[in-house]
Amino acid sequence: MKIMVAVKRVVDYAVKIRIKPDKSGVETQNVKMSMNPFCEIALEEALKIKESGLAKEVVAVTMGPSNCVDTLRTGLAMGADRGIHVEAARDLVPLSVAKVLKKLVEVENPGFLILGKQAIDDDCNQTGQMIAALLGWPQGTFASKVVLDKEKQVATVDREVDGGLETLCLDLPAVITTDLRLNQPRYATLPNIMKAKSKPIKRYTPEELNVEIKSDLEVVQVTEPPKRKAGVILSSVDELIDKLKNEAHVI
């Protein structure tokens, strides 16, 4: 079985973001970029499945401008066998990403598709659900545990839902989106980083895949969230109880 993993290049999670003065978006020039943390978890899970002998190949896919290849190389250094880069000049909405992925699935024919549950830049949390719909595959979103049964061709998935953990059984092929607790992604070692340089990356354009890229969403503006007023530092528990009771009227 082949596993396909989608990875996205985003502003590194540790970077404090800056909003552009013209409010058109968030500054990404001269900012440290990394693989989306949820995508790292997705790739780690695919690699673990491969190492347990349940899959033969892991293919990492990314979309975006040419510098997204860096993220793909990171994925190859972590252990993906090969990469696919779909060139796109601008940000793609999740629906477009899902349409491109669908075409790639038709070309590559993977038995399992793993994505992060959301990217930490736009926080959309949509792509996995959408590609599952377009393929007519079952979905296991927000996964914190995935167990594959090759004999029965099913995956048992624990999902992090409001109010606990939900367990589902999905027929393969299926789409999984990962939550933070699924695993601890590995670091790429130096020898593997060197090896990754010679791993193959195939390039496509959306036109070659016959996908029309459109966006029905226009960014009007990006702004700072309202700041809370700084409060007061109190000196004692008595004072706190008094404030809560007589000033805030919340207890």
Partner 1 sequence: ASTLVLAEHEGGSIKAQSLSAVVAANSLSQDNPVSLLLAGSGSSLHQASEKAATCHPSISQVLVADSEEFAYPLAEPWAKLIQLVQLKGDYSHVIATSDSFGKNILPRAAALLDVSPVTDVVDINGPRQFISSSLQLEYYTPHAHFSYIPDTGIRYGYQETGQALHQKYFGVRSTSTSWLLVKGHRALILNCVEVCRPIYAGNALCTVRYTGANPCMLTVRSTSFPVPPISVDSKSGGASISEVDLSTLDEDSVGKSRFIKLSSQDTGRPDLGSAKIVVTGGRALKSAENFKMIEKLAEKLGAAVGATRAAVDAGFVPNDLQVGQTGKIVAPELYMAFGVSGAIQHLAGMKDSKIIVAVNKDSDAPIFQVADYGLVGDLFEVIPELLEKLPEKK
| 83 in Cβ contact with 72 (< 8 Å) | yes
- The distance of closest approach from Cβ of residue 71 to partner 1 in the complex, given in angstroms and rounded to an integer, is 18
- Name the one residue in this structure whose structure tokens are 């990754």: 196
User: Residues of 209-237 as b/e, b for ≥16 C-beta within 10 angstroms?
Assistant: bebebeeeeeeeeeeeeeeeeeeeeeeee
By beta-carbon proximity to partner 1, the closer residue of 165 and 194 is 165
By beta-carbon proximity to partner 1, the closer residue of 169 and 201 is 169
By beta-carbon proximity to partner 1, the closer residue of 15 and 201 is 15
Contacts of 148 (CB under 8 A, 6+ apart): 49, 54, 112, 154, 155, 172
Cα–Cα distances in angstroms (integers) from residue 61 to residues 24, 75, 78, 162, 204, in the given order: 28, 9, 14, 30, 11
By beta-carbon proximity to partner 1, the closer residue of 197 and 229 is 229
Residue 97 CA to residue 95 CA, distance in Å, equals: 5
By beta-carbon proximity to partner 1, the closer residue of 180 and 188 is 180
- The distance of closest approach from Cβ of residue 35 to partner 1 in the complex, given in angstroms and rounded to an integer, is 16
By beta-carbon proximity to partner 1, the closer residue of 30 and 221 is 221
User: Residues of 67-89 as b/e, b for ≥16 C-beta within 10 angstroms?
Assistant: ebbebbbbbbbbbbbbbbbbbbe
By beta-carbon proximity to partner 1, the closer residue of 11 and 69 is 11
Residue 111 CA to residue 105 CA, distance in Å, equals: 9
Name which of 123, 93, 179 is nearest 10 in CA terms: 123
- The distance of closest approach from Cβ of residue 137 to partner 1 in the complex, given in angstroms and rounded to an integer, is 7
- The distance of closest approach from Cβ of residue 143 to partner 1 in the complex, given in angstroms and rounded to an integer, is 11
Residue 125 CA to residue 201 CA, distance in Å, equals: 27
- The distance of closest approach from Cβ of residue 40 to partner 1 in the complex, given in angstroms and rounded to an integer, is 14
